[in-house]
């Protein structure tokens, strides 16, 4: 199975939470401890090692905030 690395443009993130609900391995959450420059609660990855590179998060994001880099599992 592929593995992935999620890259988030936190300053563009509006905290809509759509990606959080799409993640099949439940590794996305909103970082409620801070806000970005626009005042939104940005997305964070809770456990990058569990990412399966499905890209569901990137596909659902209305603001193109998320990029998923896919690589082969060692």
pLDDT per residue over 27-70, tens digit each?
Answer: 999 999 999 999 999 999 999 999 999 999 999 999 999 999 99
Spell out the domain ranges in the chain. 3-71
3-71 has CATH 3.40.640.10 classification:
no
Of 6-10, 26-30, 69-73, the one with minimum mean pLDDT is: 69-73
Instruction: Report pLDDT for 47.
Output: 97
For 74, residues 6+ apart whose C-beta sits below 8 A from its C-beta are none
Instruction: Report pLDDT for 74.
Output: 63
**Which contiguous run of DSSP H or E holds residue 59?**
helix 56-60
């Amino acid at each position: 199975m592929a593995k992935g690395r999620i890259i988030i443009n936190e300053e563009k993130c509006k905290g809509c939470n759509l990606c959080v609900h799409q993640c099949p391995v439940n590794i996305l959450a909103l970082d409620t401890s801070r806000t970005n420059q626009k005042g939104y609660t940005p997305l964070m990855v809770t456990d990058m090692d569990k990412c399966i590179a499905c890209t569901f998060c990137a596909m659902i994001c209305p603001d193109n905030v998320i990029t998923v880099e896919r690589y082969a599992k060692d």
